[in-house]
Structure 1
Amino acid sequence: MARNLDMTALRSFVTVADAGGVTKAAAQLNLTQSAVSMQLKRLEEMIGQPLLDRSARAIALSPQGDQLLGYARRMLALNDEAWGRLTNQAFEGEISFGVPHDVIHPHVPRVLQRFASLYPRVRVQLHSLFTSELKSLLDRGEMDLILATEGQLDPGGETLAREPLVWVGAAGGQAWRQRPLRFASVSRCMFKRPALEALDRAGLPWEIAVDTLSASVSEASAAADLAVLVQLRGAIPQHCEVIRHGGALPDLPDYLVNMYVGSGPRAQLAARLAGLMRDAYCCPERIAAE
């Protein structure tokens, strides 16, 4: 006779695996630790196999748990998609989502794909602008959700990640060795001034090799080994790499990836998209698996 796996218990199991422990999983699920532990125990009894290796100091999956995890992810993703399509008919319309160029990848495409499967009646307008422009549009009610790269967190936002600013050049390139250092600049990028000030403090001569409004132009110059640029470590352009300069170039500051949700009539929808963005930064393997 066919047996049915408990979807609630499966969700707890996947969350424990992603979060690395029962305590963190319970917080994410808004459950008590004992409730999550009981669901795991019930799932083990149903399957007749241990899912966790309880002999280890940190949480670890047993071989059977590793095997179940892939199935559980797919089952939950299909469950959530079906639930979303059948029960979220009230969620329809259009929301505006703004993201600076440097943090579109790797998370935003996967999150938008996931959101579209859950809320097929909602159209997301994606805008790529500088942080200052996005925040102004949010203040005027013309954006429903934005990501921002900035040095601090303003009231009403939340920090998704802290990433270092790094020197970037062509894969295997030598432009970083030249003096004066040839710098590819995006005119209104907030990273430009800190990078040039760091070079000045280090006493390194530099010149602007490219000054453009297009990030793609500056990235192409770096990829061609004509200049270097600065970028967040998590957003290295294609055909480029972090320059391993061994101290020949100055250290650069960290920046925050912050998220702000608007308060307009589409705030509820924006909050749902924000939840998926939060998951992507917190547990990227979860979004990737779905």
Structure 2
Amino acid sequence: MTLQLDPDLLRTFVTIVDAGGFTQAAKQVHRTQSAVSMQVRRLEETLDRVLFERDGRGVRLAPDGEALLGYARRLLKLHDEAVAALTRPDLFGLVRIGTPDDYVDRFLPEILARFARAFPRVQVEVNCEPSVNLRRMLAEDRLDLALITCRPGMETGEVLRREPVVWAAAERHLAYEAEPLPLALFQPGCAFREWAVASLNQIGKPYRIAYTSASISGILAAVTAGLAVTVLSRSVLPSGVRSLGSEEGLPLLPSATITLHRGSTVSAVAECLAGYIREGFSGETAPMPGHIAIPA
């Protein structure tokens, strides 16, 4: 009898990895934790392979789980695109999405291009604002979807991705050696700005905010010119900019969790785009499976 992989089981498996554990995954798939565990057991029985291993801190991906993860993502991507193309080809309307500026160039072009090919009659309106403003816009019903940055452990919404946050400076300049440290940061309300200032204050390192911009292009203009140091997600560092750390006398920064939030009423159009966003953010620079513990 030909072995069949249930997409529902694969989706739960991928959600556990992306959410960082069984408990958070259960909330996202709207099942109990025991039901999620049962789904994993069914998938393991189908494959006759162990997908997760328990350790002192919780569970982690087993080698066979690591091998399955890439295949599972591709299978679910094709499954969802086929369903969307065949069941909602005439979908139309407007989706209003909000995102911090630094995610736009790195993630959105491919997501929006794929969505537009499948649903050419849907209009997407993109608003670039700091996370604190996006929360307010959601509450005021001015957005349908929003990408919001959170500290790990303080997440709300659907977890899409976890990102290392790093200090960054031009490769051929030594702005980090200046006293006080010149900073190029996003405007007040940006989580990265708050984390940068708090971490420097904690170690007593002098600094000055030399440049402020609402756009990542404005920040990078100062950084690449060698005029300042900034704080960014590691995945958005462009060519010519490198990460800095303790060797340069800079403190450790929190990791960032990118979460997807929905407005008070979510249309079929918005929910469809949410699926494309989920897929687009599950890329290669998320934490590598098998190298981090996943709480049970």
Give the TM-score taking structure 2 as reference length: 0.66
| Cα offset, 1:184, TM superposition | 1.2
Q: Distance in 1 between matches of 2:151 and 2:42?
A: 43
Question: 1:205, 1:34 → 2: CA distance?
Answer: 53
* Matched AA of 2:196: A
1:102-141 map, 5 Å: 102-141=102-141
2:55 corresponds in structure 1 to none
Instruction: Provide the residue aligned with 1:48 in structure 2.
Output: none
Q: Distance in 2 between matches of 1:268 and 1:135?
A: 21
The 5 Å alignment of 1:123-272 reads 123-151=123-151, 157-190=157-190, 191-246=192-247, 248-264=249-265, 266-272=266-272
Measure the CA separation in 1 of the matches of 2:7 and 2:156: 34
Shift of 1:217: 1.7
Point out where structure 1 has 5 or more consecutive residues left out of the alignment. Answer: 1-5, 43-51, 53-57, 286-290
1:256 partner SS: strand
Opposite residue 146 of structure 1, the aligned amino acid is A
Tell me the distance in 2 between the aligned counterparts of 1:34 and 1:197: 43
**SS of equivalent residue, structure 1 residue 211:** strand
C-alpha distance 217-12 of structure 1, shift in aligned 2 (>3 A): same
RMSD, aligned α-carbons: 4.5
Question: Which residue of the partner structure matches residue 276 of structure 1?
Answer: 276
Question: Which secondary structure does the structure 2 equivalent of 1:184 belong to?
Answer: strand
Please say if residues 163 and 232 of structure 1, whose CA atoms lie closer than 8 Å, have aligned partners that are also in contact: yes
One-letter amino acid of the structure 2 residue matched with residue 175 of structure 1: A
Find the residue that maps to 1:204 and give its secondary structure.
coil
Q: Is the 8 A contact 1:145 1:259 kept in 2?
A: yes
Query: Does the Cα contact within 8 Å between 2:116 and 2:122 map onto a contact in 1?
Result: yes
> Unpaired segments of 5 or more residues in structure 2?
50-60, 285-296
Contact 2:101–2:214 (Cα < 8 Å) also in 1: no
Task: State the AA in 1 paired with 2:236.
Answer: A
Counterpart for residue 288 of structure 1: none
Say if 1:262 and 1:202 are closer, same or farther in 2 by CA, change over 3 A. Answer: same
**How many Å apart are 1:73 and its aligned residue?**
9.5
By how many angstroms is 1:130 displaced?
1.2
- Displacement of 1:142 after TM fit? 1.5
Question: For residues 274 and 260 of structure 1, what CA distance do their matches in structure 2 show?
Answer: 9
Deviation at 1:168, TM superposition (A): 0.7
| Secondary structure of the structure 1 residue equivalent to 2:247 | coil
Paired with 2:153 and 2:270, the residues of 1 have a C-alpha distance of 19
Task: Note the alpha carbon deviations across 1:190-232, whole angstroms, 9 max, x for none.
Answer: 2223312322222222222213344322211111111101112
1-structure distance, mates of 2:252, 2:37: 43
With normalisation by structure 1, the TM-score equals 0.67
CA contact (8 A) 1:165 1:253 kept: yes
Give the total of aligned pairs: 267
Going from structure 1 to structure 2, the CA distance change for 1:177 and 1:17 (only over 3 Å counts) comes to same
Q: CA deviation at 1:122?
A: 1.5
The sequence identity of aligned pairs, in percent, is 30
Offset of residue 143 of structure 1: 0.7
Aligned partner of residue 109 in structure 1, secondary structure: helix
Partner SS for 1:216: helix
Q: Contact conserved, 2:94 with 2:269, CA < 8 A, in 1?
A: no
Residues 133 and 180 (structure 1 numbering): CA distance in 2 closer, same or farther, change over 3 Å?
same
Seen in structure 2, the aligned counterparts of structure 1 residues 16 and 125 have a Cα distance that, compared at 3 Å, is same
- Structure 2 counterpart of 1:186, one-letter code: F
Letter of the 1:218 partner, please give it: I
